[in-house]
Amino acid sequence: MGQISLFLGIHIHQNAQGYFLSQAHYAAKMLKDAGFLDCKLASTPSTPTLKAHSDNSQLFNNPSLYRRLAGSLQYLTITRPDIAFATNKVCQHMQSPTIQDYDNLTRVLRYIKGTISFGLPIKTGELHLHTYTDADWASDHMDRKSTTGFCSFLRPNLVSWSIKKQPTVAKSSTEAEYRSLAAATSDVVWLRRLVSELHTEQQSPTTIHCDNISAIALAKNPVFHARTKHIEIDYQFIRQHIHTGNILLQHTSSKDQVADILTKSFNTARFQELRSKLTIQNQND
């Protein structure tokens, strides 16, 4: 059938290093449909001072447009995980979007306009799996639930990522980080089985980088006490996979925590630094 060039709206460009996955045409069509082809550019998809959703805000007068654009942004995250956090926030308010929610959505569109040629490179290299995990404790001002984010690399390629609001309220930052660690462990176990089926079996444990010392200590400490009994399933799940050699926990500094970009907003300089570590880049770079 020849070289692949287009699959489900994703353009695959072959180069000397490997492949480059892009949804530039899909993004351009979305911007045109939304009337944002000539909009003012934004340097980030969201800002640390971005206003939160409020039930007291005036409702947006075209919720169907909001839902359509939010759904399009979700599909765009296939090759643009740099907008995953902002898109997740936008998609949490599809039922009754407010004018403020729409303003937050248009911020993402303005960022996409300025980075429309960005995408995800796939390069040749060592096939060693490693993961970064992070959580933003009580980040939702409405219900105080935390945000989980993790990303996995099959060195040097980003192959899996996720951002989710945690289903229950965490009582501490350690608990929020530990739940995020459990979610990342589940993904790692699945990825290890997948790459094994592709004849790339991982001979050594998969390193999971976490920036919370307390969460790592909890995973390694065989003592179980009252303060952690409510997360017993996550506790036992992680310990089991440490014991069987599937994962290895390693502390990383907050400065080097790549998964930060999936759990919170940053200023332009820090966002661009994390985006680069996430391997998202311009096709022409």
Which domains are seen in the chain, by residue range? Answer: 6-120 (no CATH), 126-252 (3.30.420.10)
80-127: pLDDT as tens digits? 999 999 999 999 999 999 999 999 999 999 999 999 999 999 998 888
Q: What is the mean pLDDT of residues 18-28?
A: 94
Per-residue pLDDT at 268: 95
Asked if pLDDT for residue 54 goes beyond 80, the answer is no
146-199: pLDDT as tens digits? 999 999 999 899 999 999 999 889 888 888 999 999 999 999 999 999 999 988
16 or 209: which leads in pLDDT: 209
The answer to whether 156 and 125 are in contact (CB under 8 A) is yes
What is the pLDDT confidence band of residue 8, given thresholds at 50, 70 and 90?
confident
Can you name the residues that pair with 207 across neighbouring β-strands? 130, 248
Asked if pLDDT for residue 56 goes beyond 50, the answer is yes
Asked if pLDDT for residue 135 goes beyond 50, the answer is yes
The answer to whether 206 and 130 are in contact (CB under 8 A) is yes
234-275: pLDDT as tens digits? 778 888 899 999 999 999 999 999 999 999 999 999 999 999
Per-residue pLDDT at 226: 47
Instruction: Give the distance from CA 122 to its chain's centroid.
Output: 18
2: left (phi over 0), alpha (psi -120 to 50) or beta: left
223: left (phi over 0), alpha (psi -120 to 50) or beta: beta
Per-residue pLDDT at 116: 95
Per-residue pLDDT at 77: 96
Nearest to 242 by CA among 211, 196, 210, 278: 210
Here the tokens at position 44 are 């980030």
- Backbone φ and ψ for 7, nearest 5 degrees, come out as -145, 115
| Percentage above 90 pLDDT, the chain | 71
Per-residue pLDDT at 126: 85
194-233: pLDDT as tens digits? 999 988 889 899 999 999 998 898 887 755 554 555 566 7
Give the Cα separation of 5 and 137 in Å (integer).
41
How does 15-35 read in b/e, with b if 16+ C-beta sit within 10 Å? eeeebbbbbbebbeebbeebe
- Return all residues near 129 (Cβ < 8 A) that are at least 6 apart: 152, 153, 154, 155, 188, 191, 192, 195, 202, 206
